[in-house]
Structure 1
């Protein structure tokens, strides 16, 4: 009997537990979510609802047809700027019929998205709950909620109202006892309602606002007006400036004011305080990338702005019009479904969906487990406004970029402040809401870094970035001292300036890290990326390139050095030719010159063929042509007009030919001739006699692998796969290149170092795939801003440039630095001009042979070597000797001479 009673008690207990934890017996309920989108496929809300739902109780998923989503594009489908109530209602029904897989009479269960006044009225009339994620997010909006007198019964507002942001700004002025302020705002009354409300609250707290309204015309005129306002601020000696810019994305007023303030050197003055108020809460002008590009990170003044999410948790990309609340909307809806089912028995049985009951469930949602993006989520049961939230006051300037200096907490007992409420005049009430980080009355800024413990830095052994230090005899290096290189010097300097300690560890398999098997999930990465994802290291440094694939799973700092991809090849050997002096002209050109010279000889011979005073015989014509070509001249010159005209043309031809040859020869004779050099990726792809390699898992490998079909790079990738060209690191690639007949495609900085250090290698081709090496870190790392600022300082001071010179230029061991296919000038040697001597010797030998042959011929033909001399008398009584045409004078032993 006792056992039976215990069993019954156990059954009752299990039943109670199941009831408390939400075990629900239900049938399917039609649930249709209307998502507002500016354009089709442009809503981040759709991505949130398409993802697997985070439901507090798994039984809830069985009770709703989810996800059942209808996309309501505000301009194309609903046409909110122009359509009236009737058209908007009919278009909502049309969207339901076309998109929702549900009954026609079910209708929309809830609408999620930015606030639009005319849509809000329609949804209120149709009793459809409206979850507002943001205000004034798109290019147009009817009116801001700050001045709204309508009691919105169907609305739940995820983003804190702007009136509370204004109240938080006023509390800062009250706390710091600032009595006056300059306010800069747009002129259009429809667009400066938030600014006017802030001015009103300041007046009520006895703070004197000096307002400047600017009318937007064009960028240049707006910039000029901003400069005039800031000049007046300096003349009035005002130190507090509030820049209030609704729709910052449209006006860029905040950006213009900050740019002009920098020119006026107001950002370098610590006495100034700027308060940035952007009702869209986007704060585009204060994003990290903009601060770096515009040099605002050097600001010494205060750049205050409130945010309703902490920057250290800001891993969700802000999108104008949706705000950060869009990331929490799906969680709010799922919790509301749970409350709806547990509180209503009819809902569990699949009865008609009650929007009123679901609206109550929405307002009952409380999420305080720290899993939301915007902190505590809680709503006023009457108005549906967000309560109990926290605003974070950040200083975006100064040496500690993005520093949280205070927290403003909304009192969840009172809901949203109304205009009719009495203003707070007691500073004690302000201190209950606003608190600065203080120790002994000194503000201590909670920064977004740096490290309190010894952090691990994962690296890849890669010359000259990280290398094992050579140990002198009797010296043993350990720990970080075991390494040297560009990266080691850089991390030493960063750790010294940011005051932290680190420990160097080597990357698994000495790899940079790439997705395995084509997968991009966190478990598929190795190398540096995998070490960071597995939290084995905090930083990853070295020659790791910033790529979109890697940045999808980890974060990177700003670029440290720029790089690209080029080719490392075996340095071509010099080819010597004794006839190098012939290389200035091609063989075809030499043949053309010789042919032209012989052609001129023939024409000379024809022109002088029947002349009585014939000069251009075959022998003399050849001598004249060659003498002119070699610019030596001849013993005679043409006399006929036709011959002189021909000579003039031929001399001009010779002048140009000789001048061209002389100029080209000066270059060709002072260069090295290289054997079949490779200058580009195209030439490498056509060379089947060269093996191609690259590093496995590197950004270069991914680039070649994903190159389009039938491209040079796809052909190279096929060659790599065919030759088993995927290797572990650049050291192996350099060794293979040094062995000959190999090419290594990889980082241009590493290849450049190899060329200077290892003289058998040569870096060629212009770099492609221009990228930057960065410092890898976990996604959403809190220290990213300070690390980026430090890198910028090191760049501006020239430290990084000095490191590049130290590890690239100063480590050169090769005298010859080949930078292109044509080598640099070299000194003359006999091997360069041997052909000239050979030609000269050939001419000398030919003349001697001809002379000897002729003499022998004369001796053989003549029987009497001394023929008689026949003399003839001239009219003047003198005598002339006639005999052979050629006369030889022989000397005798008696001193007499004989003439032959």
Structure 2
């Protein structure tokens, strides 16, 4: 044992310190001795020479192994027992190295794995002499420069990630110094040069200890750097300009029916009116004596359904106002019944659709989802250059996203933007959709009422704090993030930076889907135009009828005047003759 005692007090001083190698060697010899003694008790040991050239195994070897597997005793390294050749019923202590000594914080067993008994040992409150270099990138609202006041050092920055970093540094126990990434990029792999850029490059070169920001966890980055547990879940979504409202027209009351339906209704009105006239002419039951009280005029009959009356009867029923004309024959009643059923369906459908068209504002939305975006070329779309969203479309195997990537890659001028601000500016200019991460999109939409989200999420991923490969700070920060999530601290920070009442815009269409809008002149003003036009047309027809009737009665009046004058002349002649 002293041979394996490389450091510490030796056994002669009775320090009771034994190296693991010595303890395991001692226990293994003890187990072998017990197995060999048991074998000797049951079988006669017959030692024999073993040849290295010939494969002749020892006959007692298999029995010796079986006896060793049955050993059950307590050794220096703990309880000794075997199952199928593997040791069981032992444990390993999990130790944490502190400044003063080693402290046991948990155990490991073959069946149950790691069991942490002292979780508080992973968090040492207060700051130490360790100062970590934290690299980041300016991105609203994650990391921003203070707009007011003269600040220096870490105080120059504010935002969601800055507040999160303060909490984690206090819990884990380190000081930090914030620096900005030189090229202003998150990091993407260039297949042509075979190199990474941005934050990923800085971490790979060990120029920074941590990277805090809207850093997306993906497979490519995870293969060269380490990430903590995600502190925020998100996905890719589409930012688009709020669609313009449907312009109110003077004749909006005609929108419930398509133009071809209006033409079909007009054609049906003419067809039914003519059919009623013809059927009434053929049916003998529609011919009646106009003077039933005069029996001598039984040969004179008339039909109430003249061509004008037929059109009047049809339009009266279409307007649901009725008419003083009533069909008497079975054939005309059938035509009337079919027409009444037709008008019932048309008027009911028109009334129901009119309420939807005039009380709910309809928006013109050229795209509804990513499939609509990929199937057209009029609206350009792009994403952030050298970001995870760009990598997602470049490496995606989904046909829709591959089609979108080909469009973005070949579009000239380029649809990729260097910053989120540039992408938002292009969206506000119109005819451009920006593919970005949903958390950033949510922040922008709540502050600009001219922007909106189109469709749902295209994928699912998370933001994490990045570290160089093998960094000892990753697990500590991960545990701190999990604790902050359980306490709700991260949600509080999210509400602070995303849903601040002083920054969010007030949308007028918040309850548009559940509340009807008041109708104005722009919606139903056409009804008044139709009324005025009808009244004007009626006055013109009345003037025309008066002039026509007057012109037609002039010859009759002249004949009556001539007749009257002749009678007076004859009377005058008669008077003169009598006088003579």
Normalising by structure 2, we get a TM-score of 0.70
Q: 2:381 aligns with which of 692, 700, 704?
A: 692
**Partners of 1:707 and 1:638 in 2: CA distance:** 72
Aligned residues: 471
Q: 1:127 to 1:192 in 2, by over 3 A?
A: closer
The corresponding residue for 2:162 is 488
Q: 1:608 to 1:190 in 2, by over 3 A?
A: same
Q: 1:853 to 1:735 in 2, by over 3 A?
A: same
Q: In the alignment, is residue 513 of structure 1 matched against residue 233 of structure 2?
A: no
Structure 1: gaps (5+ residues): 1-123, 129-141, 150-161, 172-184, 199-241, 244-272, 287-302, 304-395, 404-444, 870-900
The aligned runs of 1:411-810 (5 Å cut-off) are: 452-471=129-148, 475-517=149-191, 524-576=195-247, 577-610=249-282, 611-613=286-288, 614-675=303-364, 677-708=366-397, 711-723=400-412, 724-810=414-500
1:670 offset after TM fit, Å? 3.1
Q: 1:541 to 1:829 in 2, by over 3 A?
A: farther
CA deviation vs aligned residue, 1:569-605 (integer Å, no higher than 9, x gap) = 2333334133332222222333333333333323322
**Partners of 1:595 and 1:166 in 2: CA distance:** 105
Structure 2: gaps (5+ residues): 1-50, 56-61, 93-104, 289-302, 561-580
Q: 1:855 aligns with which of 530, 546, 549?
A: 546
CA contact (8 A) 2:72 2:79 kept: no
CA deviation vs aligned residue, 1:614-657 (integer Å, no higher than 9, x gap) = 33332233233223223233334433344444444433333333
**Partners of 1:519 and 1:631 in 2: CA distance:** 79
The aligned runs of 1:346-361 (5 Å cut-off) are: none
The corresponding residue for 1:311 is none
**Partners of 2:64 and 2:426 in 1: CA distance:** 68
1:719 offset after TM fit, Å? 3.5
Q: 1:834 to 1:718 in 2, by over 3 A?
A: same
The corresponding residue for 1:194 is 87
CA contact (8 A) 2:73 2:79 kept: no
**Partners of 2:471 and 2:534 in 1: CA distance:** 82
1:744 offset after TM fit, Å? 1.3
The aligned runs of 1:171-182 (5 Å cut-off) are: none
Q: 1:512 to 1:275 in 2, by over 3 A?
A: closer
CA contact (8 A) 1:604 1:616 kept: yes
Q: 1:601 to 1:558 in 2, by over 3 A?
A: farther
The corresponding residue for 1:842 is 533
The answer to which structure has the higher helix fraction is: 2
CA deviation vs aligned residue, 1:178-206 (integer Å, no higher than 9, x gap) = xxxxxxx9xxx95597347x6xxxxxxxx
- Indicate the SS of the match to 1:757: coil
1:518 offset after TM fit, Å? 5.0
**Partners of 1:850 and 1:607 in 2: CA distance:** 30
**Partners of 2:161 and 2:475 in 1: CA distance:** 20
1:548 offset after TM fit, Å? 0.4
1:788 offset after TM fit, Å? 2.2
- Higher RCO (C-alpha 8 Å, min separation 6): 2
1:612 offset after TM fit, Å? 0.5
Q: 1:193 to 1:513 in 2, by over 3 A?
A: closer
Q: In the alignment, is residue 277 of structure 1 matched against residue 101 of structure 2?
A: no
CA deviation vs aligned residue, 1:253-276 (integer Å, no higher than 9, x gap) = xxxxxxxxxxxxxxxxxxxx9854
**Partners of 1:708 and 1:848 in 2: CA distance:** 72
CA contact (8 A) 1:146 1:163 kept: no
- Indicate the SS of the match to 1:726: coil
1:739 offset after TM fit, Å? 1.7
1:529 offset after TM fit, Å? 1.5
1:734 offset after TM fit, Å? 0.6
**Partners of 1:165 and 1:721 in 2: CA distance:** 73
The aligned runs of 1:90-489 (5 Å cut-off) are: 148=68, 167-169=76-78, 190-191=83-84, 194-195=87-88, 276-278=108-110, 286=114, 303=115, 396-400=116-120, 452-471=129-148, 475-489=149-163
CA contact (8 A) 1:469 1:482 kept: yes
Q: 1:697 to 1:624 in 2, by over 3 A?
A: same
